[in-house]
């Protein structure tokens, strides 16, 4: 059966990692810290009533987005589900536009029309931000199909959670990815809970979720998502498979979210999971702490430099909240913008017939 399992004790020595400069290593840490601080500030102001709707925090999982996205080239594309802030910042979206979107402001990345679950940045090959569980998986397939159709050497990284793997469209997509040799990489971020339902209560598992790929003759790998080096090493193999063979891969990264499914998830502490479990992950498996210690040991960073980065990303996050606070809301008139391309551009097609039906 096709299968890939990288098993080495130290992924720092993997080809994709061993030649990283000090600066590049520190950047990986810094990106993880940016995501965490951004979300901590978002949580603070969500709790202060500045935002509506849901806020699905990525805190605890930062190494997965940062590790995978750090490998992206010009023809690689990313798409994910609703826990999308981490991937957005990792591809290079600014904190300001991301925070303003949470505030529902016109300066938000989607002009206040998408909210937390719907971040997009096509200029950075980032295609959302999708609210319906697994709804993004055939879109990821389509990105890969588009890459191949255009004759480009690239891959589509399509992220999904451990809960999403029980949606039928995932398997339709895997079948087609394999059937048509499409360069898509499905990245399962297994944080062990689909909302309040544990993995054991939602999924039949032999070795792991990624193993289900075998049914479609798709290569797969299971890896520890808390180690950004490991994430990169395993992802790189999948990327090479996509580039060289135009073949799909399913990766599963074991990871953990410290907060609830969303901030509104009141039962995540002491309800469906024990507080000790959360504390154990924070103490023993935190991707930022692990990588920081790694870089200290490698002498790539000092404690003082780490503190300085902390201060910088906090200032950046604080500034984004100020920016969001001071930004204007979209106007009621703008509700009708961005529905139809042709209407927005006032092309002939956009000026022919009636599109909106309010009086």
Partner 1 sequence: MALIEYRDALNQAFAEEIERDPNVVLIGEEVAQYDGAYKVTRGLWKKYGDKRVMDTPISEAAFIGMGVGASMLGLRPVIELMFWSFATVAYDQIINNAGQIRYMSGGLINCPIVIRGPANGGTNVGATHSHTPENWLGAIPGLKVVSAATPYDAKGLMKAAIRDNDPVMFMENTLLYGNRGEVPEEEYIIPLGVADLKREGSDVSLIAHGRAVLTALKAAEILASEHNIQADVLDLRSIRPLDEEAILKTVRKTHRAVLVDENKPFCGVSAQISATIMEQAFDDLDAPVARVCSLDAPAIYSPAVEPLQLPTPERVIEKVLKLA
- Identify the CA nearest to 144 among candidates 75, 211, 95: 75
Quote the least distance from Cβ 343 to partner 1, whole Å.
Answer: 8
Nearer to partner 1, 100 or 222 (CB): 100
Strand partners, 356: none
Q: Which residues contact partner 1 by CB under 8 A?
A: 77, 79, 108-114, 118, 120-122, 127-132, 135, 137-147, 149-150, 156, 168-169, 172-173, 175-176, 179, 337-342, 344-345, 347-349, 352-357, 359
Cα 3 to Cα 29, 71, 312, distances in angstroms: 30, 21, 42
Determine the 3-state secondary structure of 247 from DSSP: coil
Helices (H), 133-284: 137-149, 168-179, 199-202, 228-245, 275-284
Nearer to partner 1, 63 or 110 (CB): 110
Quote the least distance from Cβ 301 to partner 1, whole Å.
Answer: 36
Quote the least distance from Cβ 316 to partner 1, whole Å.
Answer: 22
Nearer to partner 1, 304 or 348 (CB): 348
CA distance 67 to 215: 27
Strand partners, 185: 157, 249
Quote the least distance from Cβ 45 to partner 1, whole Å.
Answer: 21
Nearer to partner 1, 60 or 129 (CB): 129
Q: Is the peptide bond before 110 cis (omega within 30 degrees of 0)?
A: no
Would you state the structure tokens that stand for residue 122, as one six-digit string?
Answer: 């096509």
Nearer to partner 1, 137 or 191 (CB): 137
Quote the least distance from Cβ 140 to partner 1, whole Å.
Answer: 6
Nearer to partner 1, 9 or 358 (CB): 358
Quote the least distance from Cβ 194 to partner 1, whole Å.
Answer: 17
The number of C-alpha atoms within 13 Å of 21 and in the hemisphere containing its C-beta is 3
């Amino acid at each position: 059966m096709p299968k890939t399992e990288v098993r080495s004790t130290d992924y720092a020595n993997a080809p994709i990692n061993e030649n990283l400069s000090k600066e590049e290593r520190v950047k990986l840490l810094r990106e993880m810290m940016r995501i965490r601080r951004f979300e901590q500030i978002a949580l603070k102001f969500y709790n202060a009533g500045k935002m509506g709707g849901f806020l699905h925090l990525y805190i605890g999982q930062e190494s997965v987005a940062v590790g995978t996205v750090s490998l992206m080239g010009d023809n690689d594309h990313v798409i994910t589900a609703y826990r999308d802030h981490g991937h957005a910042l990792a591809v290079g979206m600014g904190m300001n536009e991301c925070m303003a979107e949470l505030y529902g402001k016109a300066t938000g990345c989607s002009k206040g029309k998408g909210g937390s679950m719907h971040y997009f940045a096509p200029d950075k090959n980032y295609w959302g931000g999708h609210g319906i569980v697994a709804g993004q998986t055939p879109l990821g397939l389509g990105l890969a199909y588009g890459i191949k159709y255009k004759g480009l050497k690239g891959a589509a990284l399509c992220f999904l959670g451990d809960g999403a793997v029980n949606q039928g469209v995932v398997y339709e997509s895997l079948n087609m990815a394999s059937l048509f040799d499409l360069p898509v990489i499905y990245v399962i971020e297994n944080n062990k809970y689909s909302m309040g339902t544990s993995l054991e209560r939602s999924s039949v598992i032999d070795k792991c979720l990624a193993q289900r790929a075998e049914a479609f003759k798709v290569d797969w790998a299971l890896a520890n998502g808390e180690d950004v080096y490991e994430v990169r090493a395993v992802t790189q193999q999948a990327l090479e498979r996509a580039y060289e063979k135009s073949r799909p891969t399913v990766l599963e990264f074991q990871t953990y979210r410290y907060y609830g499914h969303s901030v509104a998830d009141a039962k995540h502490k002491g309800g469906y999971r024990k507080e000790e479990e959360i504390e154990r992950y924070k103490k023993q498996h935190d991707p930022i702490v692990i990588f920081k210690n790694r870089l200290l040991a490698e002498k790539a960073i000092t404690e003082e430099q780490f503190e300085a980065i902390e201060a910088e990303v906090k200032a950046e996050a604080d500034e984004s909240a100020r920016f969001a606070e001071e930004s204007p809301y979209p106007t009621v008139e703008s509700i009708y913008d961005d529905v139809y391309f042709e209407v927005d551009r006032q092309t002939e097609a956009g000026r022919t017939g009636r599109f909106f039906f309010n009086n």
